[in-house]
Amino acid sequence: MPLITLGFLSSGEDFQLETVRYYDLSNVGGTARGWEREERILLCAPLRDAESHLPMFFSHLRNLTYPHHLIDLAFLVSDSKDRTLEVLTELLEGLQAEEDPNQPYGEISIIEKDFGQKVNQDVESRHGFAAQASRRKLMAQARNWLLSAALRPYHSWVYWRDVDVETAPFTILEDLMRHNKDVIVPNVWRPLPDWLGGEQPYDLNSWQESETALMLADTLDEDAVIVEGYAEYATWRPHLAYLRDPYGDPDMEMEIDGVGGVSILAKAKVFRSGVHFPAFSFEKHAETEGFGKMAKRMKFSVVGLPHYTIWHLYEPSVDDIRHMEEMEQERLVREKEEKEKAERAKKIKEQFDDPNSQWEKDKTDIQSLAMIEKAKEQQATATPVANP
């Protein structure tokens, strides 16, 4: 950091204080073309038992087109039982040691903090209704810890990204930033096997508020948390995910109230103003949905892009796995039946083929004998009889 020259009193004499840093926050408000103005982004990634996803995540990092030296990385490793921390460290060392000068990132922070998260990381546990309220509140704490530890005065933007995003445009930062909104999210879908329909909306946490949901909120306890996609809470909200048109304009904007956490780009001033991820029930919502609600309450713009889609990794649910096992059993039974059918057909063919083959052999032998006898007769007829 360069030395900052400060003027004291009216003497006009300059002093250089190495321990003083001066930041003009009016220069880090965030603009539509931040890459041209060298605006710094803080990329935040909460991690829990993410060892298997990290190689894919780092392949995305390598391909981002926003200048890497303007992106600072911040990771929170919490409640992990696998080698998340070790693999993360190895991949970061490799990334920062790249010979390509465009690959290394700026400042990197790795923060370890457990929150007593006891919900398992399998799909059924993470997305089960019973676990949602407590899980969302703990996730909100994790996000707030990570942000408060990593946000610097020189950051203009904060980008939240889940590590299990499978496919996303390399230009996603520029694409979202170009809209110049305070908070913006893409649409998030996931691919499915053909027997499940091929694709499906994934993130249902980006939505517009509805009268039905507001009426529902009034009937709930003070600490209740409404979560989307569950029959227990029928909100009838317009979801960003369901409004996707594969052929629609990717730049089309939709004002929303709740936001999903898979991929969020927000101006740093939103967080500096006091907006955060509520680890409590804020207007009957928590974590990212509560963040969206709070941002709207503080008059920040919150939008989603219904036709700009990124793809989350497909993780089979318990029902999916059960169905796949049933399909596998059906396949094995079908193959067994086909094999038995083929064997029966072969036996039948062999049974019929043997007599036929013998008949043909006998027929050939008889014909050969007949020809021999005929030849003998002809020879006998043609031989002259000697005179006595």
Read off the pLDDT of each residue in 31-59 and give the average, rounded to a whole number. 98
Residue 14 confidence (pLDDT): 56
* Domains defined for the chain, CATH in brackets: 22-322 (3.90.550.10)
pTM for the full predicted model: 0.79
Tell me the C-alpha distance between 355 and 237, whole Å: 76
What is the reported pLDDT for 377? 76
Res 6 pLDDT > 80: no
Contact 226, 217 (CB under 8 A): yes
Q: What percent of the chain has pLDDT over 70?
A: 88
Confidence of residue 8 (pLDDT cuts 50, 70, 90): very low
Name the nearest CA neighbour of 265 among 329, 230, 236, 308. Answer: 308
Question: What is the structure's pLDDT at 15?
Answer: 58
Least confident interval from 12-26, 69-83, 93-107 = 12-26
Residue 286 and residue 225 in contact, taking contact as beta carbons nearer than 8 Å: yes
Report the chain's mean pLDDT, rounded to a whole number. Answer: 89
3-class SS shares of the chain: helix, strand, coil, % to 5: 40, 20, 40
Q: Distance between CA 245 and CA 161 in Å, rounded?
A: 23
What pLDDT band is residue 10 in, cutting at 50, 70 and 90? very low
Please state the separation of Cα 85 from the chain's center in Å: 20
pLDDT above 70: residue 197:
yes
Residue 58 C-alpha from the chain's centroid: 13
**pLDDT above 50 (res 99):** yes
Give per-residue pLDDT as tens, 107-123.
Answer: 999 999 999 876 554 54
In this prediction, residue 345 carries a pLDDT of: 82
- Please, which pLDDT band fits residue 261 given cuts at 50, 70 and 90? very high
| Gap between the Cα atoms of 287 and 281, Å rounded | 9
More confident position, 218 or 383: 218
Give 129-155 pLDDT, tens digit per residue: 667 888 999 999 999 999 999 999 999
Given pLDDT bands bounded at 50, 70 and 90, which one contains residue 292? very high
Residue 350 or residue 286, greater confidence = 286
**For residue 7, what pLDDT is reported?**
37
CA distance 338 to 301: 62
Mean pLDDT across the stretch 65-93?
Answer: 98
Residues 167 and 165: their CA atoms lie apart, in Å, by 6
Q: What's the CA gap between 317 and 193, in Å, rounded?
A: 12
| Beta-strand runs (E) in the chain | 4-7, 14-17, 40-47, 71-77, 108-112, 155-161, 165-167, 183-191, 199-201, 254-255, 263-267, 302-312
